[in-house]
Structure 1
Amino acid sequence: MPAAKTRSVIIAEELALFRDGIAAVCELSGRLSVVGSTSDGEQAWKLVEERKPDVVLVDLQIPQLHSLEIAKRLAEAGERDQTFRPRFTRCVILAMRRDRKTVLEVLRAGAQGYLLKTSTGAQLIDCVEQVIEGGIYVSPAVDVQSLFAPEKRGLIDDPIARLSAREFQVFSLLVEGVRAKEIAARLQLSPKTVDTYRSNLMKKLDIHDIPGLVKFAIQHQIIPG
């Protein structure tokens, strides 16, 4: 029987120790080969363009270029050129969050996988292999049923659901303590546009300062308390 094909992976994770751990799990599997790693989004995108890996694993909160911008670019590349599809780099987002809005926005951006950082090495390998085969992977610890059945969960009036994708990205970065100038850089937006999104999201949530947003995010388990 022929040996299974080795698949290529790029890791974009800010924390070096965690990045090295993922690389070790991939290499020890004998089925995945790490062809690049980095601690920021801009470099991750350059590595993807240069090395065209099968999968890129991206920290949700990666600095420089936002993780969902990477996912969106990859999805658009695949849609634009169908001949590119067999070589289409799949995107898996690595995160600590398991709230409904975050997971939905990751999938809507075009990522094929959502892997919690609390996952096991076996789940990491399973995730990568599943998305390479064209599937969608969401960590088992995430309540997938609640993602697509809000009417059964009483989530229609969830204030977070009122935010647009961009507003939620700005909200997420604000409550993580990222400054407006850096938010603009990560999302490839002008500072003025970021201010507009911030104003809009505050109106929708009826919260008018950053401490209030942080408290709200903790209450909704978007960030740890």
Structure 2
Amino acid sequence: MIEEVTDQTIVVGETNAGRDAVRLIDDLNIDLLITDLAMPDLDGIGLIKAALKLKPDLDCIVLSMHTSSEYVAAALKAGARGYLHKNATAEELKQALDAVRSGTPYLHPSVAGSVVAILRESSDLDNPIDLLSDRQREVLKLIADGHNTRDIAKTLNVSVKTVETHRSQLMDRLGIHDIAGLVKLAIRHGLADLEPN
């Protein structure tokens, strides 16, 4: 299915065993790992951790039948940048690949809400801002500083539509669906000042 999704992806190695995957990662020049969680001899969480020790810049995506928030949270804590259900469509896989390659984490819509809820309640995550990409943080800071969409687009040298997409994604990721809530969160976590510029 990966070859069908994008012509920018070349599969250089495949295996169904975790330890074999670690050897392939060490031997091959790769920049992306797509893994299941259930594998013989080394599960996907262990594989992600081992892979990132070998290649810290490696992008890791999980493609698994396990969609409960505990599995997803464990994969993200291990270093996965994307998580999809095994029944994801080719278009959803393409979205995940594009997002992860551009530095934005990707959660399949079926798991995003429950993961955000668990992470917000977790004492391990004191700052939900950590869920955001660098660009989403920039957009949030500019929103909190009182800039409108057009100003943000001009400041970041992107289109208005791109800013709207970033705003929508960060609202989904944070579970906040109004500007006032975003501003409060940004101030509470030190991303913006109480006094707008």
Is the CA contact (8 Å cut-off) linking 2:65 and 2:85 kept in structure 1?
A: yes
Which residue of 96, 99, 104 corresponds with 2:73? 104
Question: Is residue 91 of structure 1 aligned with residue 60 of structure 2?
Answer: yes
For residues 168-224 of structure 1, the C-alpha deviation after alignment (integer angstroms, 9 at most, x for no partner) is xxxxxxxxxxxxxxxxxxxxxxxxxxxxxxxxxxxxxxxxxxxxxxxxxxxxxxxxx
Residue in 2 that maps onto 1:51 = 28
What is the TM-score with the length of structure 1 in the denominator? 0.49
Q: Is the partner of 1:118 in helix, strand or coil?
A: coil
Residue in 2 that maps onto 1:145 = 116
Instruction: Name the CA distance, whole Å, in 1 between partners of 2:99 and 2:118.
Output: 20
Which residue of 18, 22, 35 corresponds with 1:41? 18
Find runs of 4+ consecutive structure 1 residues off by over 4 angstroms: none
Higher strand share: 1
Instruction: Name the CA distance, whole Å, in 1 between partners of 2:121 and 2:5.
Output: 40
For residues 75-124 of structure 1, the C-alpha deviation after alignment (integer angstroms, 9 at most, x for no partner) is 33455xxxxxxxx2211111112212111111111111111112110111
Instruction: Name the CA distance, whole Å, in 1 between partners of 2:97 and 2:23.
Output: 21
Is the CA contact (8 Å cut-off) linking 1:54 and 1:132 kept in structure 2?
A: no
Residue in 1 that maps onto 2:84 = 115
Which residue of 49, 52, 73 corresponds with 1:75? 52
Is the CA contact (8 Å cut-off) linking 1:74 and 1:90 kept in structure 2?
A: no
Query: Root-mean-square deviation (CA), in Å?
Result: 2.1
5 Å-filtered alignment, 1:155-174, equals none
Which residue identity does 2:72 align to in structure 1? V
Instruction: Name the CA distance, whole Å, in 2 between partners of 1:28 and 1:122.
Output: 7
Residue in 2 that maps onto 1:208 = none
Is the CA contact (8 Å cut-off) linking 2:5 and 2:90 kept in structure 1?
A: no
Instruction: Name the CA distance, whole Å, in 2 between partners of 1:97 and 1:145.
Output: 17
Gaps of 5+ in 2: 124-197
Which residue identity does 2:98 align to in structure 1? E
Instruction: Name the CA distance, whole Å, in 1 between partners of 2:48 and 2:81.
Output: 9
What is the TM-score with the length of structure 2 in the denominator? 0.55
Q: Is the partner of 1:61 in helix, strand or coil?
A: coil
